[in-house]
């Protein structure tokens, strides 16, 4: 397996970024909705801690993924796609990255301005500043960005299935 992407296939680093992010999101999104329905308790704090840690991990992976994307060629830039499909694909991918980053930033703001610790894996941060108006905005942003992410993921999966099944494009071979 190649380390870097080429014009035909993604390299191992891009593939790992993609599938690890998806794997974490499969647990992370339901966990977030589950948390919203829990009453305050030690159990909720424990689950929220895991949710936050996995959110930070996704944040770091997304940042690394964006950097990696800029230093690698993309197999999707070949002539196999119509120009409008390439534009829609780039918009969807950009919005996926934007929503992933937005979810994490809004979650961090919510926790910090509520007086909670935020574990950044390398350090923990706490603020002695409370602003519940901003916390409310951050909560709404967190939920809105999550809903946007779900819509974008569904669209992404449907597009992949369309290319794979109807166009017989070897799209899944590029990322596996």
118: helix, strand or coil: strand
Residue bearing tokens 């770091």: 60
The CA distance from 95 to 7, in Å, is 23
Average pLDDT over residues 45-62: 96
pTM of the predicted model as reported, rounded to 2 decimal places: 0.91
Report how far apart, in Å, the C-alpha atoms of 35 and of each of 7, 50, 71, 126, 172 are.
Answer: 42, 11, 38, 21, 33
| Structure confidence by residue, pLDDT tens digits, 130-171 | 899 999 999 999 999 999 999 999 999 999 999 889 888 878
Question: 12-174 maps to which CATH number?
Answer: 1.20.950
User: Do 32 and 51 contact (CB within 8 A), yes or no?
Assistant: yes
Residue 169 has a pLDDT of 80
Q: From 141, 142, 159, 133, select the one nearest 32 (Cα to Cα).
A: 142
Instruction: Please say if the pLDDT value at position 80 is more than 80.
Output: no
| Structure confidence by residue, pLDDT tens digits, 104-135 | 999 999 999 999 999 999 999 998 888 999 99
The phi, psi pair for 113, rounded to 5°, reads: -80, 0
Q: Using 50, 70 and 90 to split pLDDT, how confident is the model at 85?
A: confident
Q: From 24, 60, 32, select the one nearest 48 (Cα to Cα).
A: 32
Q: Which helix (H) or strand (E) holds 119?
A: strand 118-119
């Amino acid at each position: 397996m190649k380390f870097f992407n080429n014009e035909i296939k993604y390299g191992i680093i891009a593939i790992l970024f993609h599938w690890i992010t998806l794997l974490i999101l499969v647990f992370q999104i339901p966990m977030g909705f589950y948390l919203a329905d829990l009453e305050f308790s030690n159990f909720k704090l424990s689950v929220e801690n895991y949710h936050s840690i996995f959110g930070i991990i996704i944040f770091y992976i997304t940042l690394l993924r964006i950097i990696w994307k800029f230093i690698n060629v993309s197999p999707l830039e070949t002539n196999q796609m119509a120009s409008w499909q390439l534009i829609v694909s780039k918009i969807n991918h950009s919005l996926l990255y934007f929503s992933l980053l937005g979810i994490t930033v809004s979650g961090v703001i919510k926790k910090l301005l509520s007086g909670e610790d935020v574990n950044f894996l390398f350090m923990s941060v706490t603020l002695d500043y409370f602003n519940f108006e901003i916390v409310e905005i951050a909560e709404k942003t967190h939920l809105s960005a999550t809903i946007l992410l779900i819509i974008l993921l569904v669209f992404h999966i449907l597009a992949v299935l369309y290319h794979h099944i109807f166009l017989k494009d070897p799209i899944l071979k590029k990322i596996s």
